[in-house]
Structure 1
Amino acid sequence: MINQCLLIILVVTFLHSIHSQRECPGSKFGTGCRLQCHCKDKASCNEIQGTCPNQCAAGWSGPVCQRQNLGYLSQVEVRHLDDDGAEVVDEDETTCISSPKPNRTGWLKVDLGSSRRIYSMKLIAGDGISIQNWKIHVTDYNHDDLFWGIPCTTLKTESSTADFTCDHPEYGRYVSIFSYGRPVDVCEFQIYACSNYTYGDTNCNGRCSCYDENEICHSLYGTCKSGCAAGLTGPGCKQACVMSYGSNCVHSCGHCYERRACDKVTGACPSSCEPGWNGVKCDEECPTASYGFLCRATCGHCKDDVTCNHVTGTCPNGCNAGWFGRTCEHICNIGSYGEDCKFNCSNCEQGSCNRLSGICTSGCKPGWEGAFCNQACLEGNYGKNCQESCGRCEASPCDRASGMCNEKGCEPGYYGANCLHECPAGLYGSNCGYSCGHCSNGESCDPRTGTCPEDCLPGWTGVLCIEKCPYGTFGAECNMTCGVCMERETCDHKTGLCGKGCAEGFSGDLCQDISASSLKGEVSNYLFSTIGAIIGIGVILFLALLMSCIVIKWRREYAFEDYDHRAKRKLLLNAEAL
C-alpha cells in the first residue's frame, strides 16, 4: 500500500513539473523558468528546450541562444586612432579597423563596462593578415602602458581567423590585443560568456544543476558551491546517480526489491523492498518481532525473547524451550522438550511430557518414577510410579515394569507370574511342583519346605512324611513291630496287618500270638541251629589260622632265597672288579 501511494505521488509530481514548465511566460523557459529567451525580434522560445523559431537576437548565439557576446557594441580603443572602433564589435565581419602606424606595435582594447570572467573568444583579422604571436591581455585597470594587463594567451595560428580560449580563465573589464612591431588589423572581435544558469566553454549547452536552485554555477564547468542538485553528481553535475540519490549522490539507495535503483532525487524505491526492509526508501529494518517480505512475517519463539533476524527470521541464540525450527515456529513434537526440542522425554506415560520443562504430565511408565520419570524403581518395587512390591522371586530384583521374576522363577512355596501367591494346600516347593507328604490330622505341609507341622500319619516317616515305615514296623512314628506274617512278609506299614495271614504257630489280628507246641518246636530248632552255627564258626576259624601259618612260612623262605641270591651276585661283581 505504501509503495502504491509513493508511485502515485511521483506521477503527480512529474505531471505537475511538466505543467509548471508549460506555464513559463513567453520570455522564459527551463526548470523554474530561470532561463531568459534571446530570440530575434523578441520572439518566444520553446518553453521547455529554449530553442528559438528563427535566429538568435544580436549579441547572442549557441543552440538555444544562451551564449552572449560581451563585447557586442562595447567601447573600443585603437592605438593612435581617434575612431571609436565600433566596427570591431558590431558582429559584421565586413567592417574592419587598423592601427595607423606601420612598423609600430599596435593594440586594440575593448571596454566591457564591468569585470567579467574572460575565457572564450573569436578573432577575425583583415584579409591576408596573420595573427600569429598576437597576444591577448585582460585587466580591470585602464592603462596605456604596453605591458599592462594579465596575459590571457598568445595566438599560434598563422591564419587570420581563430576561435580560442585563455590559457586559464581571467577576470577583467578590459580585453586587449597586442601585435608587437606591427599594427593590428581587426574586422571582428567577440568575447563570449554564458548566460545565468548555463555553462560551457563553447556553446553554453550546460544547465546549472545546483542544490541551491538560485545559485549561478560556474560558467565554464557548471560546478556549484552548494553542491549538485538531488540525483546528480560529478563535474558540472551532469552525471546521474547510480544506486544512490540526493545532492552529489551522497546517499546510497536502500534495499529496493530485486536490487533495483531507487529514485535519484528522493531515494524512494520504485516497487517494494527486499525481505527484511521497510519504509519508502527501504532503508528501515522491519519493526521488532517481524521479518521477511513486506515485514509481514512474525518472529518465532526466540530464546530470551530477543527479536529474530529481520531478513531471514532466524533466532540469534536459538529457540525458547518448547520450540524448534529455523525460525522457532514449530512446537516440540511429542516426546521432546527444552531449547530447540533437543531433549527427549524419558519414560513418560504415552511418551508425552511438558514441552518446556520435560516434566511428565501423565505420570511415568511402569518401572519409573520422579518428576521426569528418569529414575528406575528401587530394588523390590515395580509398576506405575513404583508403588507395587515385587513378589517372592528366587533371584532379585523382579522386572521393574511388570513385576515378573526372571527365568529362575519363584521362591519355593510361591507361584504365579509375579510369584505373589503361596502354594495351595497340599503343594509345596519351587513353583508348587511337589505334593505334600502324609501329615497327621489332614494338615497341609509347609509350602516352602514340604515338612509337616506336627507328626506323620501312622505308617509314614521321614522329614516329609513320604517314607513308609521300615520293614517290620508300622503305626504312628513306626514305633510298632509287625507280627510274624506268612512267608516272612512284612505287615501293612499303617495297620500292622499281615496281607497273607500269620505264619504257622502264630495267630491274632497282628499275628503276634504264639501257640505252646509251636513254642517248643521253635526252641528245639533254635537250640540245634545255635549249636550248628557254633561248630561251623569254629571250623572256619581253624582253616583261617592254618592258611595264615602257610603264608608266613612261604614269605620267610622267599626272603632267605632272595638274600642268598643277592649275596652271590655281590661276590661275582667283586671278583670281576679284581
Structure 2
Amino acid sequence: MKSNILYLFAVIVFTLHRGQSQGTFNCHCAEVEKECFTFPTPCSSGCQSGWDGPFCQLHNVAYNRSASQSGVYVDTSDCVPDTQDVQSFCGAHGAQLAVDGSDDTNYWHGSCSVTDTSNQSAWWRLDLGATYNISSLQIYQANHVPLPPRYIEVFVNGQECYNVTGSDISSTIIHVTCHQTLLGSTLTLRTSSIDTVPSLTLCEVKIFQCSDFWFGNKCQYKCHCKDELEVCDKLSGACTSQCAEAWTGTGCQTHNMALNKTAHQEGTWSDASNCSTTSTTYCGPRPASLAVDGSTDQDFRHGSCSHTALGRTITSWDLSLGSLHQIYRMKIYFPQKDIYSTVGLKVTVDGAVCYVSNTSLPTIADITCRQPLRGVFVSINLPPFPTSPGVTGGPIDRVLVLCEVLIYECDEFWFGANCSQLCRCQNTSEVCDKMTGECPRTGCSAGWMGTDCQTECLAGLYGVKCDQSCPGCPGNGSCNRNNGSCSTLCPAHYTGANCDRCHDDWYGPSCQLPCGECRNDGPCNTTTGLCPDGCDPGWQGALCQQECPDGRYGMDCSKVCGHCVDPTPCDKLTGFCLDECAHGWSGDLCDKCDDFWFGANCSQLCRCQNTSEVCDKMTGECPRTGCSAGWMGTDCQTVCPNSTFGLNCSSNCGMCADNVTCDHVTGTCPDTCAAGFAGKDCSECLTGLYGVNCDQTCPGCAGNGSCNRNNGSCSTPCPAHYTGANCDRCHDDWYGSSCQLPCGECRNDSPCNTTTGLCPDGCDPGWQGALCQQECPDDRYGVDCSKVCGHCVDPTPCDKLTGFCLGECAHGWSGDLCDNKQPTTRTYQEPTPLSSTTVTYTHTTATTKTPATSSTSTISRHSTTAKRHDQTSQGYRPHGHTQHKTDQPPTQGPTSDGHSRHSRTDKSDHYSADQLSEGAVAAIVVSCVLALCIVLHSFIFIRYSRRRPCGWLKGRRKHTYGRDRIESPEDFDFTSGTELPKYGPFPDTKQKAGTAGITNPNYIPDSVSPDV
C-alpha cells in the first residue's frame, strides 16, 4: 500500500515537471510502474484489459459491455473425454464471451460466443451504455468455423455501417470500416436472411475510441494543444486553444524545430528613419530572429518579417537548430507584395545542398530536399549579383526578406512523408529513422522485416528477423509470426485427431457439402446428408435444405403466416412478420385487430370524436365520445348528408358556387363561394352587401365601411370630426369641406358655421377676429377685447375674460381689476406715560375711494383662465376652468390672529399729546388692554410659528372663507426666497412697527408702503 502511494505521488510530480498531462494520466501499459514514466515510449509489456495499440492509446469501448444474441449454442454433447481434439471448454457459448477481453480465436478454448442455429437469421447485439462516434471495429472469428456465413451485416443504432462479404468473411480477423462515421450506442451483427447457415461465431468484437490526447483514424497521433489539459478533436486533432509552441498543422501533429532557434543574417535593414504612421504599424530594424518568431503574418508593415541590409554582395540568412536533426521538408513565408527576386534561392544543411530554385518562388513556398539531410545549420542564400541568369537590377535590390521559416520533423516513434507510419523497432524505446523507419540500433521487432520494418514475416516463418520456421501445424496451417504458435488446427470442415472425418454439419467425400436444417441441430449423415430425425421448423425436403415458401411456417411448413406487410413474409420458424403487420393488424403473428380498427379483416378505421378512444372492434361504435366531425351512424362510417357538416352533422353549409355541397368535416367549399357570399365557409356577405341572399347593397357607410349583413345598418363608426346617421356633417366645433378645421371661441360655446367657420353670436369674451380664433392682446379683455386691463404688475397681463390681473396689482393699486388707487399711510409713535409699551396709531389719507368690505369676508380678485383651443384626436376642445386667487389681507376687520387693527383717516400727519380728548384717553386705555392681549398672543404665535414672519402670509395669500390657511410654515422665507434656518435667526430686514409694540423683523403691514 505504501509503495502504491509513493508511486502515485511520483507520477503526479513527474507529470507536473514535464507538463505532459496528456500522457502520464492516460498510460494503460500492463506494467504501469515500469513503463508509464517513459511515456510516450510504446508499451512493451502489453496493455491493460480493454486497451490496445502500441502506446495502449486505443480504448476498446465494447469491453465487458452488455451483449445479447439470437439463442445460445450449447455444445456439452460434443465433449468427448480423453481425445486430443476435444475442446477444453464445454457448455453454453453466450453473447458475453465476445466482449470478455480475450481475442483467442481457438474455438476449443471456450472464449467464443455462438448463436443457436435454429433461427432463420442469427444476430448478436451490443449495448455500449453510452453514445459514441463509431467509424471502425474489429471482428475476431473462430479459426475453424464449420461454415462461415456468407454475409455479416453491421448496424449502428439501426444505421447500416458495412456489409461484410467475399474474402473478408473468411478472415480470422475482420477489419470493418463504416461507410461513414455513425453516432450510436448499440451495435448489431446479423446474418442475411438468405444465408443457409444462420449462425454467428464471434470470439471477440472490439470498437476502438482514441484515448484522451490522441487522435487519427488509428489514434496514431498525439495531441499538441497550447492548453495542455485540452482534449483535442479525436478525429482531426484540432485544438480550440490553438497548437502548442513549435507545433503546426490542422491537427498540430507536425513539429516545427526552427521555432525560436538562433538566427543570423547579412546585415539588418531598418526603416525607423522613413517610417510613416499611415503605412505601417511597426517601425525599426528587421533582424533575422523575426523569421522564426512563430508568426506567419506576411504583411511586412506589421513588423514580423526579417530583412537583410541593402547593397551587400552576399545575401544570406542562417539558422542553428542546436542539435543534430534529419531535415527533409520545410516551408518559407515571403511577404505578400515582395518586390525582390527569389530566383536562384538556395537552401543548404551543414553546407550540403537541399534545394535550389530556378524560378521566382511563390509567397508561401513548400521546400522538399533532394534527399534527407542530417545537420545542425540551415542556410538560405541568394546568389551573388549579377552572376545568376535572369537576375536584373542593381546590388541594392539584392535583399532577402523572410516572414517565417518552418522546418518540419515527425513526432517520436513515427516516420514517413506524412508522419503516419509507426516505428516497429525491437527495442520499443528506440526512435526509428523519421524518414525511412529504419531501426539501426536494435533492428525490427519480432514478426516484421524490411528496411522500414513494415513487412510481415512470410508464411511459415516467425520471430526476430523472420528467420525461424513454423512447427508442423495441422493442415499445413501457419503459425503466429511473433512466437511461432500454431494458429490453425484441422483443415476447414474436418475434425478428429488425424483430421480424417467430417465435422458436424458437413458431409460428402471431401466434407465440402453442408448438412441441411436437421431437427434440434442434430448432425446429418456424413455420407448421404439425410437428417435422421427430420427437419427443423421452417424447413422441408429430403435433405432439409428447402425453406418454407413465403406465407407458411413451422414444422413441415404446415402453418399459414398472419397479416404481414405485403409482400414481406413471416419468419419461417416462428411465424413472426419480419417487417411489420399490415394496416389494422397487430400481435406477434399479426393476427389480431389493431387498436382504432374494426370489422372484417380489421379493414375499417374507427372515427371517434376523441382520437384516443378505441371503438368497438366489431361494430365501430364510439360509446364514450361519439362520432368525429363530419361522420354519423352507429359505426360512424356515414358521411354527413348534403348541406350539413361538423359534429353530429349539426351545422349547415354556406353558399358554395354552383350549389356544390361543402366539406362534410370543415364546412369549407371545394371551389369558391356563390355570388355575393364570402368567408371560410361562405356564410358571410361580401363587403357592401346584405340580406338573406346577400343581394342588397349597403347604404353609404363612413369610410366605405360594411353594413350589418342582416339589416344593412352601418357597422363602422364615423371618421374623425364627422357625425350624423350617415356621417355626412361636421361635428360641433369643426368646419370646412373635410371637417378638419377647428371652430373658434364662439359665444356661449355655440357651434360655428360648418362651412365658413363664422360664429353666429360673436366671440366669447377674451377672443376676437372673424373666426374668433385670436386672443385679446395682453392689455385688453372682455367682449371684442373692448376693455383695458387695470394696473397689473408689469409685465404680467390681466385675464382675457375677466380683466383680473394674473399676478398682482402694481404698487399703489388695488381692487379686483387693480383700478383703485391705494391711500397713503403714515405712522407715528406717542410717548407712553403709563408703561413702556408703545402704541402705534395709523393714519390713512385716502386718494381713491376704497370699496366697503365686510368683517366676515375678504376682498379677493378672481382670475379666470381663458378658454384655450386644444384639439384632441376625437375633435373635442376642453374649455378652461375658472381659478380663484386670494389677495392681501383686508385693511379693516378681524386679522388672522383674531385681533383687530384700527386705522384712522385724517388729513393731518400727527397728533400731539396735549390735544388728546377724553375719548383719546379712553382709546389709550383700550389700547393698553389690547396691547396686553397682543403680547400674550404674540408669545404664543412666536412660540409655535416663530419661523414665519407675517410677511409670509402676505406672500402666500391663501384664504379660505375669511380664515388664513398657512401651508408648510417652517422651511421657507417667501419674502426673500431663501431657505430659513430651522430655529432662526431670521434674515435681517428693516424694522417695521408691529402690533402692540411687538417687533417682528420680517413683518410689513399691508397699509404701509415699503418706501416709508
TM-score bracket, shorter-length normalisation: 0.3 to 0.5
Judging by fraction of residues, say which structure has more helix: 1
